Structure 1
Amino acid sequence: MRAIKRAVTKPEVALRSALHARGLRFRKDLRLDFESARVRPDIVFTAKQVAVFVDGCFWHSCPEHGSRPTKNVDYWLPKLARTVERDVAASAALLAAGWTVVRIWEHVPLGSAADAVVSVTKERPREGSPSRLVQVV
């Protein structure tokens, strides 16, 4: 388990590179402290208050590609369920604080994922805009 990275995954790095090539500037793996939770999105646009998460299909239980473990099920199923619960709590904390949350599955083509992030960051004004959850599937 120590070899599994929490951050800097291949899909995340590819998305960051694509966003940077499109001229977007952002913070990566920035910890945000709220009253209800501490959240660490993969990509953060602080001025626009947009948080982007790149979710792996196995680790975050993708309904389309997520596979159920066949070995050591008593360990893995609760662990994966906690990950999903943590995702919901993180999104809720960000939304309550007025942020827009973008969740992208790792199987989404890179161009589509980058287009979604670009459109959200361009349409969101700095302040006073309602928060929302955008899921890219």
Structure 2
Amino acid sequence: MADMMTKEQRRKNMQAIKSISKLESIVSKELWKKGFRFRRNSKDLIGKPDLYIKKYKVVIFIDSCFWHQCPLHATMPKSNTDYWKKKLVRNIERDKEVNEYYKNKNWNIKRIWEHEVKNDLEKVIKELSKFIMFAKENVKREPKCLL
């Protein structure tokens, strides 16, 4: 199926997409209120983690149920299915590659789903707080990987 937009229209449309999601902003505000200091969306780190603390070797990814194909909420577009299937399968493969990269580098990695943030933000913040505190206390020890 051909694109209904010109290349220039598609380019402008894609440029308008924000790199920081609303969910990421919500989670980062809550963690900041709790006293955690971190950076967001580093282009220098593999996979461009949503939140990271280099000092504690912590990376956090907030995965969209659509783009990362959540087992509970994944959907497949009804048009151009070959394109979308390849695209979404590659996203899943890339997530696995990123996970392996950080595990091999002894980083603490945590992935949370979009629906977890929407369903119970308080629970997510508690889990992330514990995760970061564990990493902080165990900087010299074996890292933890929660996927």
TM bracket, shorter-chain basis: 0.7 to 0.9
**2:131 counterpart of 1:123:** no
Structure 2: distance between partners of 1:71 and 1:43: 34
Q: 2:106 aligns with which of 98, 101, 106?
A: 98
Contact 1:47 1:126 survives alignment (8 Å) = no
User: Which residue pairs with 2:22 in the alignment?
Assistant: 10
Structure 1: distance between partners of 2:145 and 2:86: 25
Unaligned runs of 5+ in 1: none
C-alpha RMSD over aligned residues: 1.5
User: Which residue pairs with 2:90 in the alignment?
Assistant: 82
Aligned length: 130
Structure 1: distance between partners of 2:84 and 2:141: 39
**2:72 counterpart of 1:72:** no
Structure 2: distance between partners of 1:134 and 1:54: 13
CA shift digits 1:93-126 (9 cap, x unpaired): 0110000100000001211211111001112235
Structure 2: distance between partners of 1:115 and 1:129: 22
Contact 1:49 1:126 survives alignment (8 Å) = no
Structure 1: distance between partners of 2:123 and 2:79: 34
The structure with the largest helix share of the pair is 2
Letter in 1 for 2:110: V
| SS of equivalent to 2:97 | helix
Structure 1: distance between partners of 2:138 and 2:42: 19
Letter in 1 for 2:131: V
> Share of identical aligned residues, percent?
31
What is the TM-score with the length of structure 2 in the denominator?
0.82
Letter in 1 for 2:23: P
What is the CA distance between 1:127 and its match in structure 2? Answer: 2.9
The structure with the largest strand share of the pair is 1
Unaligned runs of 5+ in 2: 1-12
